[in-house]
């Protein structure tokens, strides 16, 4: 039986859609006779960026399962569903309404992962004259203060140095003071392509069949957000902690040994390859990063996975994931406004449909709309690279990444998009823009075999748009980049181009920007 709401609520604990852990710091002193949990599904969170149906369905289904878990444990939960009659449409309006009806003594929540939301909750509580307390998020391995300390006095914030500190601090893959295998980084042995024969024996992934809770959510999202991108017919993401643990175990057992080797490879109709698919579970807090790292390290210790794979994987979680969060909180809110390359183009429409003649873009976007998933290199070196070369305004491409992936939450998406992929922060995240011609995609995938364009050509009808726009990018930004040592080789190659060729490239680049590709 459901627990009744306390008549006079002492603490109203706000739980957001990406805070679904029962060991949350905000629930630590929860008194089941005096306190209540507050959760709300609101349309504005799906419309402020044009969120895909899959992303919204994942959040809502995980939230409803979490409500059930809490109610089964006799927590009182004040929950508003998306199609509820008294749904006010936004978090601030919904909370304001609850505060006026129930008048709790205080509101408490874990600090939101997104900068925007902290201000929203503070404002509502101030207006309602109810005290609010934000508690530190215990889900992460580096606090804001830890990262600020790391950043102090450093000219550059490279991930590698932060990662080494974290390895030592948490004693992960360490032999005393030295890294296991006498190497901090095994990238040189990783990141291979599949070669001509393509992948073989890629493990089949477990699909989590929608239960009745998820089916209700799917119906609701299809009804209320019918014009949003994406398709729910394949929805099969983990939505509970139990399922998240199954997904983690499957990955460790079946995929981790090959994770490093094929981390950067891409192949038609193989959306998942050896990737873990757990970013959404981590970001919604169905999994804790510590348990993920421990599971991977154990696989190395028991001889079930090689050091190259295990280190490569742990680097993503203990290194990149914590580092991008540090960057986000250190530089927000100004970070969102940065546009170091003054990119002004609108996002091409095909990002929302996959309807383009570029095979690699069509493959990565279609997969994204079908599953809400693309792996890192598909994001960085296909959809992200195209946007960078084309000159899309960073805010527009940021809104796209935040809308279409099941794991998209701003603290991790924004630095990856604006910083790493678009060089919009002028080098805070990346030491140089990640630019390449279509030949990179040809080397790492089989996409070009199916494409009407030729990655070796930069001008003419068969020229690969990536290749044309790569040279055009260097021409446009030559002055800005000439003091960057890591760009020296690429700029030297640019200087070898004859004037006529440069003109022809620029002409074709202009044409690409003015027509549907």
CA-wise closest residue to 340 among 390, 408, 402, 388: 388
The Cβ-side half-sphere exposure at 387, using a 13 Å CA radius, reads: 31
Q: Could you give the string, one character per residue 352-381, with x where binding to ligand SF4 holds by CB under 6 A and - elsewhere? A: ------xxx---------------------
- The β-bridge relationship of strands 174-175 and 178-179 is antiparallel
Q: Out of 42, 408, 428, 448, which residue is the one contacting ligand FAD (CB under 6 A)?
A: 408
C-alpha span between 436 and 440 (Å, rounded): 6
Span from 147-155, 308-316, 331-339, 443-451 in contact with ligand SF4 (CB under 6 A) = 443-451
Which residue among 38, 453, 471, 473 contacts ligand SF4 (CB under 6 A)? 453
Among 384, 433, 438, 455, binds ligand FAD (CB under 6 A): 384
Smaller CB separation from ligand FAD, 79 or 473 = 473
Residue 417 site contact among ligand FAD, ligand SF4, none (CB < 5 to 8 Å, cut-off depends on kind): ligand FAD
Smallest distance from the beta carbon of 464 to ligand SF4, in angstroms? Answer: 3
Give, to the nearest 10 degrees, the angle between helix 144-151 and helix 159-169: 120
296 binds ligand FAD (CB under 6 A): no
d(CA 398, CA 231): 21
DSSP 3-state assignment of 229?
coil
* Interface pick for ligand FAD out of 324, 327, 361, 459 (rule CB under 6 A): 324
What sign has the CA pseudo-torsion 51, 68, 283, 376?
Answer: negative
Tally the residues of the chain: 517
Q: Does 433 bind ligand FAD (CB under 6 A)?
A: no
Residue 366 to residues 348, 358, 359, 412, 471, Cα–Cα distance (Å): 15, 12, 10, 23, 27
Stretch that binds ligand SF4, among 189-197, 274-282, 411-419, 463-471 (CB under 6 A): 463-471
Which residue matches tokens 């459901």?
A: 2
DSSP for 429-447 reads S-SS-----HHHHHHH-SG
Binding flag, residue 59, ligand FAD (CB under 6 A): no
- Residue with smaller CB distance to ligand FAD, 330 or 497: 330
User: Which of 372, 455 has the CB closer to ligand SF4?
Assistant: 455
Are 113 and 15 spatial neighbours (Cβ–Cβ below 8 Å)?
Answer: no
CB 83 within 8 A of CB 220: yes
Stretch that binds ligand SF4, among 55-63, 168-176, 313-321, 447-455 (CB under 6 A): 447-455
The distance of closest approach from Cβ of residue 96 to ligand SF4 in the complex, given in angstroms and rounded to an integer, is 49
- The listed partner (ligand FAD, ligand SF4, none) that binds 275, CB under 5 to 8 Å by sort, is ligand FAD
Q: Is the dihedral of CA 479, 484, 486, 489 positive or negative?
A: positive
User: Does residue number 351 form part of the binding site for ligand SF4 (CB under 6 A)?
Assistant: no
Sequence-distant contacts of 509-517: CB under 8 A, at least 24 apart: 509/468, 509/469, 509/472, 512/390, 512/465, 512/468, 512/469, 513/345, 513/390, 513/391, 516/348, 516/349, 516/350, 516/356, 517/348, 517/350, 517/356, 517/357, 517/358, 517/465
108, 139, 241, 379: which one binds ligand FAD (CB under 6 A) = 379
Using CB under 6 A, which of the segments 80-88, 375-383, 487-495, 503-511 binds ligand FAD? Answer: 375-383
Note the residues at the interface with ligand SF4 (CB under 6 A).
Answer: 358-360, 438, 441-442, 447-448, 451, 453, 455, 464-466
Residues near ligand FAD (CB under 6 A) are: 275-279, 282-283, 316-317, 320-321, 324, 375-376, 379-380, 384, 401, 405, 407-408, 412-413, 416-417, 420-421
């Amino acid at each position: 039986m459901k627990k009744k709401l306390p008549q006079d609520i002492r603490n109203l604990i706000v739980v957001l859609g990406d805070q679904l852990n029962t060991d949350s710091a905000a629930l630590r002193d929860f008194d089941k006779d005096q306190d209540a949990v507050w959760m709300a599904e609101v349309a504005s969170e799906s419309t402020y960026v044009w969120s895909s149906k899959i992303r919204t369905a994942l959040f809502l289904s995980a939230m409803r399962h979490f409500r059930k878990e809490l109610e089964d444990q006799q927590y009182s939960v004040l929950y508003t569903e998306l199609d509820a009659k008294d749904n006010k449409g936004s978090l601030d309006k919904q909370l304001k309404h609850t505060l006026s009806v129930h008048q709790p003594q205080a509101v408490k929540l874990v600090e939101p992962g997104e900068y925007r939301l902290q201000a929203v909750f503070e404002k509502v509580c101030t207006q309602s004259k109810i005290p609010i307390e934000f508690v530190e998020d215990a889900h992460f391995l580096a606090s804001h203060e830890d990262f600020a300390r790391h950043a102090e006095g450093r000219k550059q914030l490279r991930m590698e140095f932060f990662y080494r500190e974290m390895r030592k601090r948490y004693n992960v893959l360490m032999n005393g003071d030295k890294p296991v295998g006498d190497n901090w980084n095994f990238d040189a042995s990783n990141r291979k392509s599949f070669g001509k024969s393509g992948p073989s024996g890629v493990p089949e992934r477990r699909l989590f069949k929608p239960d009745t809770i998820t089916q209700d959510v799917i119906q609701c999202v299809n009804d209320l957000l019918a014009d949003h991108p994406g398709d729910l017919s394949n929805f099969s993401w983990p939505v509970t902690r139990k399922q998240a643990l199954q997904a983690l175990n499957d990955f460790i057992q079946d995929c981790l040994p090959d994770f490093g080797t094929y981390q950067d490879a891409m192949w038609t109709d193989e959306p998942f390859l050896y990737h873990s698919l757990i970013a959404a579970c981590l970001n919604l807090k169905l999994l804790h990063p510590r348990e993920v790292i421990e599971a991977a390290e154990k696989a190395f210790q028991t001889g079930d996975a090689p050091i190259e794979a295990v280190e490569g994987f742990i680097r993503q979680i203990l290194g990149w994931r914590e580092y991008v969060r540090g960057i986000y909180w250190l530089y927000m809110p100004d970070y969102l406004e940065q546009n170091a390359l003054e990119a002004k183009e609108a996002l091409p429409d095909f990002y929302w449909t996959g309807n383009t003649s570029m095979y690699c873009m069509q493959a990565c976007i279609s997969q994204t709309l079908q599953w809400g998933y693309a792996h890192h290199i598909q994001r960085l070196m296909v959809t992200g690279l195209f946007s960078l070369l084309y000159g899309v305004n960073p805010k527009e491409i940021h809104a796209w990444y935040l809308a279409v992936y099941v794991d998209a939450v701003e603290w991790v998406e924004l630095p990856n998009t604006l910083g790493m992929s678009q060089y919009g922060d002028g080098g805070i995240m990346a030491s140089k823009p990640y630019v390449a011609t279509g030949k990179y995609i040809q080397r790492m995938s089989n996409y070009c075999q199916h494409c009407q364009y030729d990655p070796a050509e930069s001008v003419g009808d068969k020229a690969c748009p990536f290749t044309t726009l790569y040279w055009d990018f260097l021409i446009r930004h030559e002055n800005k980049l000439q003091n960057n040592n890591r760009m020296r080789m690429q700029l030297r190659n640019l200087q070898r181009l004859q004037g006529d060729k440069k003109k022809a490239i620029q002409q074709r680049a202009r044409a690409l920007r003015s027509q549907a590709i």
